[in-house]
Amino acid sequence: MSTEPRPTTAATAAEVAAMDRALELAARGPVHGPNPRVGCVLLAPDGTTLAEGWHRGAGSPHAEAAAVSEALARGTDLNGATAVVTLEPCAHTGRTGPCTRVLLDAGVTRVVVAVKDPDPVAAGGERVLLDAGVDVVTGVRSDQGEQLLRVWLRAVRQGRPFVTLKLATTLDGRVAASDGSSRWITSEPARRHAHAVRATVDALAVGTGTALIDDPELTARTTSGDLAAHQPLRVVVGRRELPVGARVHGAGGELVQLATHDVGEVLALLAAREVRHVLVEGGPTLAAAVLRAGVVDEVHAYVAPLLLGAGPSAVGDLGITSIVAALHLEVARVERLGPDVLVVATPRTDHRETHEPPGPGPSTLEES
């Protein structure tokens, strides 16, 4: 076969509509886990739908294999069919076999893709398909595909977990009163929302100071207070030992203690465990460390209409001494949660381009 890409036509109206459906199917997959959410629709040459599939999580059939299996179970002939897929079909054998082989063996002759796979291990599906004589069209509904996979794509492209920093503060930025009391600064609606977010991430991280002072369980709970079906890894960062009776040893996700002060090492260790999304919940020392390191991808700031005037702040010292060196954020959205407000923001890339990450030590933290 020629190694040159074969010319392809633009996506048809039926294929674009099928991609919209494939994106809906992909959204049914789990948000957490090492694998992306992917949907697939198989079309006959006349544009009618033959079968559908989506990826249900690590170890289960990929979307393409699920759709092909559905079609074959009904005795549907897939010779000359088109596969409309939200992510470039993989070309490697992992927990399951390569999707390119599944499609080729089924007789698929055209593949329409929203987003190309940036994973160096799994990528290359387009090349395999082209070399086999299959028409491939990419970039169909790419913006929607990128949005659906934004956390997974960022994690794969960066080679580290996507980092969300959670802050829960009073209006004057305090996370506790001067006597140490902090339950509860935010309202029940805000806490419910925070638990819902916990149930979507792969890991939940706090520093040893927070683990020792607040004695948190670090679990994701439903509105009824029960443990959610998915529990993230419970990560405690720092060198101090946790008491045997600490609540973090109770029911919930696996407890991982990382005896290091190096943020880069923490993220590398989590990446090695296939963590794609980590939620950093504090305290101030760990929050400052990840901000100093420039690894925060998104901030969730829950702000309660309270004033304390004194007490620990949400973020420790960033080494910023001038307003011109402030870390700038771009507000993505604002939500009302009962009496509280959630501000979701991302560090501004234009500011990162013109300023070094704040603070003299970009990737270490000190025990609080």
Is 64 in the active site?
yes
Contact 4, 127 (CB under 8 A): no
- How do 49-54 and 82-87 pair as beta strands? unpaired
Contact 257, 264 (CB under 8 A): no
Tell me the angle at which helices 263-272 and 284-292 cross, rounded to the nearest 10 degrees.
90
The active-site residue out of 4, 24, 52, 64 is: 64
d(CA 72, CA 321): 65
Q: Provide Rg for the chain, Cα atoms.
A: 23
Reading the block at residue 326, the tokens are 């402030």
Tell me the angle at which helices 63-73 and 13-26 cross, rounded to the nearest 10 degrees.
110
d(CA 368, CA 359): 17
Q: H-type helices in 57-187, by residue range?
A: 63-73, 99-106, 125-131, 142-148, 150-158
Residue closest to 29 by CA, chosen among 230, 226, 223, 227: 230
Residue 257 backbone phi and psi in degrees, to 5: -100, 120
Beta strands per DSSP E along 44-119: 49-54, 82-87, 110-115
Contact 270, 203 (CB under 8 A): yes
The letter for the amino acid at 209 is G
Residue closest to 215 by CA, chosen among 172, 259, 182, 167: 182
Reading the block at residue 304, the tokens are 């309660």
Alpha carbon 16 to its chain's center: 26
Catalytic residues: 64
